[in-house]
Structure 1
Amino acid sequence: MQKQFGLNARGCLVLAQLLGGVALSASVLATTPAAAQEECTSYTVVRGDTLSLIAKRGNVAGGFQAIFSANSNTLDNPNIVQVGQVLQIPCRDGSLPNAAAAQESAAAAAPTPVPVTSTPSRPLRIATGSGYAPFTDEDMADGGALTKMVRRAVAEGNPDQEFSISFVNDWGAHLDSLVPSGAIDMTFPWFKPDCSKVEFLSEASAYRCTGFNHSEPLYDALVGYYTLNGSAYADATTYQDIMGARICRPEAWFTFDLEAEQLMPPNVELVRPVPQDGCWQLLLDGEVDIVTLDALPAEEDYRELGLEDQVANIEALASKQTMHVFVAKDNVFANEALQIVNAGLEDLRLSGEWFEIVRSGILETVDN
């Protein structure tokens, strides 16, 4: 399953920090042109800001992923912030500042949703799998945060739609046979490649685009790129700048984002050790130039290894990867039902329930 998603137990613990323990140092932020900030407030972007710098100045747990996740409704790209833009800094308990007022404002500004009212012809069959806490796991309350989210989205999108969610722990079978054959209608949560670059993808990665349609995002994750301070790649601003590099990505992680940017052999040397922390030792030993994986476990890894003063974050290369519900393109019923999921997800985001579902799942993982 890790091969499909690329998130280990450590990554989940860091994600728990993201939503459960963010704090700002007002004294540090007061040295910037912006007004002094405290946790559970908003921050106004000034010239020269990046998400990483804001997180570093404020000692934000979870780094730039924390700020990005808290502002995913307004930030499309982790590398682009605008002067004067107001960012929400999560409270210590993971909630958002002035959440009720912000949700009312967003709801008022949003177009009136078109309810999905078509009469369902049969129950909807949905599958997920275990072992991906806090997102999907049979042993968690409600089956994990994203299981609860999908359940609530269907109920919100069309209360008349009957459905079941089953745990099928052979993850590979979901996209290989169960969804294509119609044995199940939907599966989640799966990362979707950049389907506008399908010509650069491997056959397996391209199949996620050519064989399936996808819901609106359930969750956004950031993938970071890291090198040693003083490296020739530390100031890279485009993927073209790292062509020819020796790049390390752990064996358990997907590669479709690298494929889309043509960061695959022979353009680069790709090293894929089995242990996740193996990349960092290879970087220190000079055997690779760049480490790339999900920013949450990556930054936790190099901090645990005491490498903060040696590792440079190549901020301009960070990318957003999104998790979705997948349906087979030739399953007419499932594609109609996908509208229900999307309508429900929109309702959950406007009401603030989306954030609360994720936060409660994270907290359960920490408590256990």
Structure 2
Amino acid sequence: MANGGVIACTKAKLTTGTMLATGVFAALGGVALSTSDAQAQELCSRYVVARGDTLGKIADRAQVPGGYRALYRANRDVLYSPHMMEVGQVLTIPCPEGARAPASAETAVVQIATPAAAEPEPELSADEPIVFLTGSGFAPFTDEGLPEGGAITQMVKRALELADPDREFKVIFVNDWGAHLGDLLPTAAFDMGFPWSLPDCDKVELLSPANARRCTDFAHSDPLYQEGVSYYTLAGSPYVGATTPEELYGATICRPDGWFSFDLEGRGLTEPNVSLLWPGNQLDCWSKMQAGEVDVITYDTQVAKEDMRELGLDGQIAELSDLKGATTMHVFVPKNDPASVAYLETLNEGLAELRLSGEWFSIVREQVQATVMN
């Protein structure tokens, strides 16, 4: 599910290593400016974007009044959106109202670059495009290779088009799924992210801190889709026929990295009762099972069926039907971003219209067929 941070956009292709979604940190292989470099670029100066930078980090370091949104307003002539910037771009660091640029700032400009002064920019419009975050490798739900980016991607697009047809939006694919809830959404690098499964938030005390954050730190849209979660083992395995979680104790269980684990926690399928493996791709789970390194595989039912079909595993795998569960997929937004939280209401209106019109069912049917054909 994770493919190393490749980034793409529905309206513009981004070149990995030169165009960075803000919030994609030094994991892409770059380094941030040193402390001495950062100190040389203070208020009323200019700043050269380095790998690992985000508008929020730069605004905080330069003490920009109004934070990253004010920094974006001062640089709209060079920034495609508040969520993307190019390594090597020179940003204007705005002064507090009434302040004048110190002479040292002009010296810093000469050392870095000498761009023309930016024209005064208008205030951000309330209709600033919404930027959604998702990733590939989760067919039929989200994948750049599918029509409209997959079923969930298409649902989100259509819901917004129905509820607010004049609102502009972008969908960006960042294939490092582990960074979505950990860095990119909490730092306001993106407005909304999908598709994420929701634990039973009435039992948050049973969850690990990372899973509890899905309840405590994020607001959620209405359900986009209810997904089945199945358990599989090799035909002839001693775990064939298991009907309770306790019968899996002692097993080595594989679930792809980026998938939730809250259901495993609720069933006691955690260390030391079982051994858990979290490879970066679900196909690795099947390879490990065939190599005898894994006893049980568990993740989304629909995706698992497609994976088994593509791998030619028909007849070799047994599903543990009595252990099958279900959860719902949602759009997540950070609770500390009031604008994104408020816009969930509009998104939910569009989702309701999708269901009432029957278009929701058409999207699911067509996307599943497209996945099978691919």
Alpha-carbon offset, residue 211 of structure 1: 0.9
Partner of 2:353: 347
SS at match of 1:180: coil
Distance in structure 1 (CA, Å) of the matches to 2:301 and 2:294: 18
1:175 and 2:181 aligned = yes
Say whether residues 1:205 and 2:183 are aligned partners: no
Matched, 1:220 2:226: yes
| Kept after mapping to 2: 8 A contact 1:128/1:189 | no
The aligned amino acid for 1:196 is D
Closer/same/farther in 2, CA of residues 240 and 343 from structure 1, 3 Å limit: farther
Structure 1 residues 3, 342: closer, same or farther in 2, change over 3 A? farther
**Equivalent residue, structure 1, for 2:76:** none
In the TM superposition, what are the counterparts of 1:133-144 in structure 2 within 5 Å?
Answer: 134-137=140-143, 141-144=147-150
User: For 2:148 and 2:189, how far apart are their aligned partners in 1?
Assistant: 23
Superposed CA offset, 1:15-72 (max 9, x none): xxxxxxxxxxxxxxxxxxxxxxxxxxxxxxxxxxxxxxxxxxxxxxxxxxxxxxxxxx
Structure 1 segments, 4+ long, off by >6 Å, are none
Matches within 5 A, 1:223-302: 223-229=229-235, 231-251=237-257, 253-272=259-278, 276-277=282-283, 279-280=285-286, 283=289, 287-300=293-306, 302=308
The answer as to whether partners of 2:142 and 2:151 remain within 8 angstroms in 1 is: yes
> Residue in 1 aligned with 2:327?
321
Deviations 1:117-145 (A, max 9, x none): xxx95446231245345444556554443
Deviation digits for residues 122-175 of structure 1 (CA, Å, limit 9, x no counterpart): 446231245345444556554443233112212333456x24124152655543
The answer on whether the counterparts of 1:223 and 1:320 sit within 8 Å (CA) in structure 2 is: yes
Q: Is 1:2–1:252's contact at 8 Å kept on the other side of the alignment? A: yes
Indicate yes or no: 2:105 matched with 1:131: no
Q: Helix, strand or coil: the match of 2:272?
A: coil
Name the structure, 1 or 2, with higher relative contact order (CA <8 Å, separation 6+). 1
Deviations 1:49-97 (A, max 9, x none): xxxxxxxxxxxxxxxxxxxxxxxxxxxxxxxxxxxxxxxxxxxxxxxxx
Q: Which moved more, 1:281-290 or 1:319-328?
A: 281-290
Deviation at 1:263, TM superposition (A): 0.8
Partner of 1:151: 157
Unaligned 5+ segments in structure 1 are 5-119
Q: Does 1:165 align with 2:173?
A: no
Q: Which one-letter code corresponds to 1:359 in the other structure?
A: R
Structure index of larger Rg: 2
Instruction: Give the letter aligned to residue 2 of structure 1.
Output: A
More displaced 10-residue stretch of structure 1: 144-153 or 229-238: 229-238
- Cα 1:147–1:252, aligned 2, differ >3 Å: closer, same or farther? closer
AA aligned to 1:219 is: Y
CA distance in 1 between counterparts of 2:251 and 2:326 reads 22
Counterparts of 1:129 and 1:260, CA distance in 2: 27
Name stretches of at least 5 consecutive residues in structure 2 with no aligned partner.
5-124
Q: Is the 8 A contact 2:306 2:372 kept in 1?
A: no
CA distance in structure 1 between the partners assigned to 2:294 and 2:179 by the alignment: 34
Q: Residue 313 of structure 1 aligns to which amino acid in structure 2? A: E
Q: Percent identity?
A: 49
1:273 shift after superposition: 5.0
What is the aligned length? 252
Give the counterpart letter for 1:191 in structure 2: S
**In the aligned structure 2, how far is the partner of 1:252 from the partner of 1:332?**
26
Which segment drifts farther, 197-206 or 261-270?
197-206
Note if contact 2:185-2:192 (Cα within 8 Å) is conserved in structure 1. Answer: yes
The 3-state SS of whatever aligns with 1:220 is strand
**1:2 matched residue in structure 2:** 2
Instruction: In structure 2, give the amino acid aligned to 1:341.
Output: L
Alpha-carbon offset, residue 348 of structure 1: 0.7
The alpha-carbon deviation at position 199 of structure 1 amounts to: 3.0
Give the number of the structure whose residues are more often helix, by fraction.
Answer: 1
Query: 1: distance between equivalents of 2:127 and 2:281?
Result: 45
- Cα distance in structure 2, aligned partners of 1:171 and 1:288: 23
1:272, CA displacement in angstroms?
4.1
Q: What is aligned with 1:358?
A: 364
Deviations 1:193-249 (A, max 9, x none): 333343333333222222101112222322211234565543333323323333233
Is 1:193 aligned to 2:199, yes or no?
A: yes
Give the deviation of 1:281 after TM superposition.
Answer: 6.0
Deviations 1:282-311 (A, max 9, x none): 556665432223323434555666665553
Q: Which amino acid aligns with 1:165?
A: K
**1:145–1:361: 8 Å Cα contact kept in structure 2?**
yes
1:217 is matched by which residue type in structure 2? P
Q: Per-residue deviation at 1:345?
A: 0.9
* AA partner of residue 256 (structure 1): F
- C-alpha separation in 2, matches of 1:315 and 1:358: 23
Q: Is the 8 Å Cα contact of residues 194 and 260 (structure 1) preserved in structure 2?
A: no
Change (3 A) 1:297 1:335: closer
Say which is worse superposed, 147-156 or 225-234, in terms of deviation: 225-234
Q: Is the 8 A contact 2:2 2:281 kept in 1?
A: no
